[in-house]
Amino acid sequence: MSHGRDGQEGSTGTEPSVPDPFEENVLALMPALRRYSRSLTRSDPDGEDLLQDCVEKVLARRAQWRGVNLRAWAFTIMTNLYRNRHRHWVQHPEVELDDELGLASEADDADPLEKLRLERALDRLSAENRSVLMLVVIEGYRYQDVADMMAIPIGTVMSRLSRARRQLAEAMKDDNVIALRRPK
Amino acid sequence: MTDEFNTVSEDELHAYVDGHLSQPERNRIEAWLEKHPARAEEVRQWQAQATALKSHFASYARSDERDRSLLATGRARARTGATSRRHILGRLAAGILIFAAGALTGLYAPATIAPDRPLEIAQGPDTLPRQAQSAFLIYASEVRHPVEVGADERAHLATWLGKRLDYQLRIPDLSALGFSLVGGRLVPVNGKAGAMLMYEDGTGQRLTVLLGRNTDNRETSFRIASQGGVETFYWIDGTIGYAVTGEVPRDLLQRVADECYRQFEGSSAS
């Protein structure tokens, strides 16, 4: 176990020398978890925090995993952590503008103002509606899967999805300083 | 008869946008949308949202050089969290946090109840669910120190809280409903010592059970209070008030409340 670091680059020195298959699977899920985490949160640091907490929880609860669909299980854990934390965030809604436009946004070429507008509009969604929207639209889950993951009836999934889409459309409209819609 | 017959539901429109439909179904929806321009515009907006969302967050779906260290930190924290959080120093830190949070509850609860009628209302029956919801909102959000005494000291927890509450507390076992005990803490309820127990399911969904002294010795039936998606089932049984709170479907919470009721009945009888 305490097998010092023998020249692994960028290693923290705490990794076991034999790769643990469960941890390797978690590692493989990290990109998807990072995306989901960031789609739920308001800034890159918040996104990384949520990801870190989720990884910790997944590792701490590995004994409770039933052995099927690690991805959905990890996503459920993240959704619950987000709901728990979101109550807290409501009391601290201030986010620095620089935080909001994170590093990853610079990598692609979309209009930064348009991106900020989207983030602002997303901030108006409730935690529940936001997670349903992201699971369906970005993560590509079926409605029944989302219902199972969040332990809610499928009708609730549909009404949250509807509400999220309408609120988002409304928020984008309210905030439509720069009109980018195609003329009819 | 023509258009009414060939109608399209809201759910189908979502399924269309999300690409869950077969080609013949898509054709049918598209034909319908041509005749319903307002809905067609809405669907177009939803599609534009989906495209914007996907591209906005796409760049986050990447491996990062920090991933391995994130995993290592998670592993280390998961290990200490599971075993050695009961260090003296950890206790001390938790104690300070509890003190601060307790002060916060004390300030917060009366202010939300009735700022202009502090005396009679503060002991009224509807203060219990509100205090239960405040406690839930504050402690269920806690990542590091949601409880004061963990589930690994279950017997000690029961004795300690029972003594403070002057009540023979039997901690309900909710494992049949998929919830395991996280632990508990001492909280102010109606200005006296009360107990909060916290449970969690395998995915981290949390519930709290609050017990407090009820000064006007009486009984109520099961009641429900709901605020912003947080539901509370509560009842008063003689000198003790009980409140089960969570952000879970109401029928599940009711089963939890039934189970708690059944098991608490056992404690007072013994």
Query: Which value does ipTM take for this structure?
Result: 0.77
Confidence of residue A66 (pLDDT cuts 50, 70, 90): confident
Position A57 scores a pLDDT of: 92
- How far apart are the C-alpha atoms of A65 and A58, rounded to whole Å? 9
- Sequence-ordered list of residues with C-beta below 8 angstroms from that of B183, at least 6 positions apart, any chain: B146, B147, B148, B149, B150, B151, B153, B157, B197, B198
- Residues A91-133 pLDDT 10s: 444 444 444 444 444 445 566 777 788 888 898 898 989 999 9
Q: Which residues pair with B197 in a beta bridge?
A: B184, B209
Q: Give helix then strand counts, H and E, for chain A.
A: 9, 0
Q: By the 8 A CB rule, do B141 and A85 touch?
A: yes
The CA distance from B248 to the nearest CA of chain A, in Å, is 8
Express the helix, strand and coil content of chain A in percent, nearest 5 each: 65, 0, 35
| Nearest alpha-carbon partner for B207 in B118, B136, B108, B109 | B136
Amino acid letter for position B44:
R
The answer to whether B164 touches B186, Cβ cutoff 8 Å, is yes
Reduced DSSP (H G I as helix, E B as strand, rest coil) percent helix, strand, coil of chain B, to 5: 55, 20, 25
Task: Kindly tell me if the per-residue pLDDT of B241 is higher than 80.
Answer: yes
Q: Do A53 and B205 touch (CB under 8 A)?
A: no
A4-A6-A8-A14 Cα dihedral, nearest 10 degrees? -10
pLDDT at residue A79 greater than cutoff 50 = yes
The DSSP secondary-structure symbol of A67 reads: S
Residues of A in contact with B49 (CB under 8 A): 137, 165, 168-169, 172
A10-24, B32-46, B136-150: least confident range:
A10-24
In this complex, the residue of A55, A79, A136 whose CB is nearest that of residue B18 is A136
Could you identify the residue written with the tokens 């004994």? A63
* Strand B206-219 relative to strand B223-227, pairing: unpaired
Number of A to B CB contacts under 8 A, please give it. Answer: 152
What does the block give as tokens for A152?
């809610």
| Threshold 0.90, pTM exceeds | no
Least confident of A57-71, A125-139, B180-194, B223-237: B223-237
Angle among Cα B154, B156, B157 to the nearest 5 degrees reads 60
* Interatomic CA distance for residues B19 and A176, integer angstroms: 28
Nearest to A58 by CA among A39, A83, A35, A81: A81
With beta carbons less than 8 A apart as the criterion, state whether B158 and B170 touch. yes
Do the beta carbons of residue B245 and residue B232 sit within 8 Å? yes
Q: Give the residue among A15, A75, A63 at the shortest CA–CA distance from B70.
A: A15
**Residues written for chain B:** 270
* Residue B106, CB-side half-sphere exposure with 13 Å CA sphere: 13
State the number of CA atoms in the 13 A half-sphere of B206 facing the CB: 27
Contact A133 B20 (CB under 8 A): no
Residues B93-119: tens digit of each pLDDT: 443 344 344 434 433 333 333 333 222
Which of residues 138 through 177 in chain A touch B, CB cutoff 8 A? Answer: 138, 142-143, 151-153, 158, 161-162, 165, 168-169, 172
Q: Is A73 left (phi over 0), alpha (psi -120 to 50) or beta?
A: alpha
